[in-house]
Structures are given as C-alpha cells and as structure tokens.
Amino acid sequence: MKLEQKRHETADKERHNLMRIMYTDPASEQEKYDIEKQRLELAQLRADINATNTETENKSAIALHNNAKQGLKAAQQNQQKLHKLAKSGLGRELKP
C-alpha cells in the first residue's frame, strides 16, 4: 500500500515536472537567465568601482600625509636657517 502510494506520488511529480517543461516559454526562461547574469555583472562592476574608490582614497591619504611631512620638514629647515641668520646677525652687531 505505501509502496504503491509512493509510486503514485513519484509518477505525479514526474508528470508535473514534464508538464512544467513542456508549457514553459524557453524565451522567458532565457530572459530570466540573462537578467540574472546582468545583475551579477552589475554587482561585479559595483564591487570593482568600490575597490577603485577605496584605492584612490588610500593613495590620496598617503599623498596628503607625505605632503604634510614635507611641509613640516621645509618649515623646520626654514626656521633653522632663520635661527642661523639671526645668530650671525647678532654676532656681527655685537662685534666692535
């Protein structure tokens, strides 16, 4: 009895699957696959854009940091030059 019921259910499932395949529109199925493929490609492009933006932001931050370091170094060098000039100027004025 249970075996016969199982066979009947299996036959119904097979018939249902066969009818689904027979009556589906292959063009609409292909369109669904194409749309899904395009969605995946779009997601990949968005990920690439985000990666590029992140890389650009990192490079900009590094460049700003390097420029700031160079600016500080130049300011220190200028201050040292001014200090030397002031010392030499004071030294000349103090000499008789």
Q: Is the pLDDT of residue 81 over 90?
A: no
**DSSP secondary structure letter of residue 25:** -
C-alpha pair distances (Å), 51 with each of 30, 57, 58, 85: 31, 10, 11, 51
Range of the domain at 56: 32-96
Predicted pLDDT of residue 94? 45
pLDDT digits (tens, 9 = 90+) for 22-78: 777 777 778 888 999 999 999 999 999 999 999 999 999 999 999 999 999 999 999
Q: Which residue has the higher pLDDT, 25 or 6?
A: 6
pTM: 0.48
Q: How many domains would you assign to the chain?
A: 1
- For residue 48, is it within any domain? yes
